[in-house]
Amino acid sequence: AELRKASKRLSCHKRYKIQKKIREHHRKVRKEAKKRGHKKPKKDPGIPSAAPFKEELLREAEQRKQRLEELKQKQKLNRQKEHEKKRKLEAKKNAATIKEKGEGKESSGKSKGKTKKLPNKNSKKSFCRELMKVLEASDVVLEVLDARDPMGCRCPQLEQAVTCSGGNKKLLLVLNKIDLVPKDNIEKWLNYLKKEFPTVAFKSATVMKDKTMVQATKRRARVDFSETTQYFGSKCLLKLLQEYGKTQDKAIQVGVVGFPNVGKSSIINSLKGKRACNVGLARGVTKSMQTVQLDKQTKMLDSPSIIADPSNSALALALRSVIDPEGSDSAGVLEGVNAIINHCSKQQVMMHYNIPDFRDPEEFLSLLAQKRGMLKKGGVPDIENMAKLVLCDWTGARIKYYSQPPGFQKPPPYLTEQKIAEMQEGFNLNNLEQENSTTVQALKHPSPASSIAFQSAGMTNGTIEENKVIEEGSEWGNMETSKEEEEEEEEDEEEEEFTESDDDDEDDVEEDDGVKEVTRKAKPGKQQGTPTDSKEQRAGNERSRSLSFSLDKPANEDDAYDFNTDYV
């Protein structure tokens, strides 16, 4: 309902007061005018009747007036002629430009198939291109792993590309976020990973101090940045890189790579000691290669995230931030939460969220929604939004969970003993082990009782080659592109990737808070995607059917009109 306009009525006291002030003002103005006196403009007295040659003088005055009028008309005509000339010239120029444009369109139409449009910086292909630039330019590659699930953050395609490049490249593993994992678990993972690659324990600063932050601390004395601004392991990593640079007798370039939300840019900021790269929880913050000079001998290269392959399990896709809580549909988010809860210790999940026993993930979400007051109309728990919050907690740094390393050490097939020795060559491993132990001892770790035991899904397959990327209809979630650019990119992608089809499917493009979603209306059982990924579609359909969640009806069933119930 529209709000009524505010009433303009005043109280009598206020109205009389205003009228009194107006009267006083008018009185004051009249008094000042009276003091100044009223000066009327003097009239032209004209020629007195007694003056000699009166008629001749009047005739001369009339002739003067006529001459002035004639001059004015001539000037007016000249101006009109000039305006007409200018209009004709502009018309000729416009006609010439229109002809040139028409010829240009014809020539561009002929050469359209030969020429290609410039690539979009926000596409997955562009991300892969920038990642390959970083890998080619780097002497040392740092693969950043989340200490809560180190095995799930490893990408075999990336490791194989670095180890088999043959350019004397080195690969180091950086175990980040060690403050979220129990101490014993960190030591187990360090012992496991150091047998394959040199591994550095690290805790990056999530917030770097700058001028704005100092001002905020002055205004608000209660703000405490002690935990977020502290970083550990930077001295160890810097020392390791500097020693390797001395052995090479040249300035080295260090590339930082990894999956989304593992802390790549935060590590560079911690090494630099100030905010040099933009950081954020959302994926796609770093869109191109960025260089940060640490010292004369070391240059850091920040890279976009590795794109996870869609053929990975639902658990890997959920934790590697491929399922976007804001942009994805509710089915994908619910499937990711379902996989996470099924791979965790039920008792520890109940203790962490402080909820009673539950039978399945759907009941878990409904209990949590009731506890936090996330209810729909009629008191129904809002399961979809609750699932988005839970997924954000698990992909961010709020939940403290840990996974156990495999019981049997089996290196990947591309990692032979010779390759392991090559990767470890040039680094002081004994010194590295001592520095890691001091870093682990200096930090405050959570106890196993306060953390959630988690079963990892193993290594996550990634796509690093540009020609193997399959572009989807929906691009990255937090990318700020204009509507016109998005529409043009979509048209070009459809022309390149999709052939003309005879079915009557329609594409509905919806844009919400800068997020673009393309949903394809199709028959039940079909999902959007390219014709090449039919196997992935079937796998996705099977996973969605196995969900125990009771989702809403599809839009086609809701919008269907029943003519039998129409009133006559």
Q: Give the residue carrying structure tokens 């449009």.
A: 117
Strand ranges for 427-552 from DSSP E: 452-454, 462-463, 507-512, 515-520
Q: Give the residue carrying structure tokens 């499937």.
A: 335
Report yes or no: 270 and 292 within 8 Å, Cβ to Cβ. no
Is the per-residue pLDDT at 218 higher than 50? no
pLDDT bucket at 12, cuts 50 / 70 / 90? very high
| Cβ neighbours of 3 (radius 10 Å) | 5
- Quote the pLDDT of residue 286: 76
φ, ψ of residue 172 to 5 degrees: the values are -115, 145
Is the per-residue pLDDT at 237 higher than 70? yes
Q: What is the pTM of this model?
A: 0.59
Q: What one-letter code names the amino acid at 151?
A: M
* Buried/exposed 157-170: b ≥16 CB within 10 Å, e otherwise: bbbbbbbeeeeebb
Report yes or no: 111 and 224 within 8 Å, Cβ to Cβ. no
Tell me if residue 277 falls in helix, strand or coil. Answer: coil
Q: What is the rounded distance in angstroms from the CA atom of residue 172 to the CA atom of residue 237? A: 10
Q: What is the pLDDT of residues 176-189, one digit of tens each?
A: 888 888 989 999 99
* ∠ Cα 124 127 130 (to 5°): 155
Q: What one-letter code names the amino acid at 90?
A: E
Stretch 202-229: mean pLDDT: 54
DSSP at 118: P
Q: What is the rounded distance in angstroms from the CA atom of residue 405 to the CA atom of residue 191? A: 10
Q: Name beta bridge partners: 141.
A: 171, 255
Q: What is the pLDDT of residues 462-516, one digit of tens each?
A: 888 776 666 554 344 444 444 444 444 554 554 444 444 444 444 443 444 443 3
User: Across all residues in the chain, what is the average pLDDT?
Assistant: 76
Q: What is the rounded distance in angstroms from the CA atom of residue 343 to the CA atom of residue 407? A: 18
Q: What is the pLDDT of residues 520-550, one digit of tens each?
A: 433 344 344 443 444 444 444 544 444 344 3
Q: What is the pLDDT of residues 371-430, one digit of tens each?
A: 989 898 888 999 988 988 888 888 877 888 889 888 877 888 888 888 888 888 888 888
Q: Which domains, from first to last, does the chain contain?
A: 124-209+225-310+407-446+458-463 (3.40.50.300), 314-395 (1.10.1580.10)
Report yes or no: 267 and 142 within 8 Å, Cβ to Cβ. yes
The first and second tokens of residue 310, run together, are 């869609």
The first and second tokens of residue 94, run together, are 């416009």
* Buried/exposed 295-312: b ≥16 CB within 10 Å, e otherwise: eebbbbbbbbbbbbbbeb
Is the per-residue pLDDT at 71 higher than 90? yes
Start-end of H helices in 259-416:
264-272, 314-319, 330-342, 346-353, 361-372, 383-395
Find the range with the poorest average confidence among 111-115, 281-285, 379-383, 451-455.
Answer: 111-115
Q: What is the pLDDT of residues 28-52, one digit of tens each?
A: 999 998 888 766 667 777 778 888 8
pLDDT bucket at 109, cuts 50 / 70 / 90? low
Strand ranges for 166-251 from DSSP E: 170-176, 199-201
Q: What is the pLDDT of residues 258-268, one digit of tens each?
A: 988 888 888 88
Q: Name beta bridge partners: 253.
A: 299
Find the range with the poorest average confidence among 207-211, 223-227, 363-367.
Answer: 223-227
Q: What is the pLDDT of residues 122-150, one digit of tens each?
A: 577 777 888 888 888 888 999 999 989 99
Is the per-residue pLDDT at 448 higher than 70? yes
DSSP at 304: P
Q: What is the pLDDT of residues 319-352, one digit of tens each?
A: 886 666 666 667 888 888 888 998 888 888 898 8
φ, ψ of residue 423 to 5 degrees: the values are -70, -30
Start-end of H helices in 10-123:
12-36, 54-110
pLDDT bucket at 102, cuts 50 / 70 / 90? confident
φ, ψ of residue 146 to 5 degrees: the values are -80, 125
- Quote the pLDDT of residue 99: 85
- Quote the pLDDT of residue 63: 93
Q: What is the rounded distance in angstroms from the CA atom of residue 425 to the CA atom of residue 371? A: 55
Angle between helices 156-163 and 124-137 in degrees, nearest 10:
30
Q: What is the pLDDT of residues 481-494, one digit of tens each?
A: 444 444 445 545 54
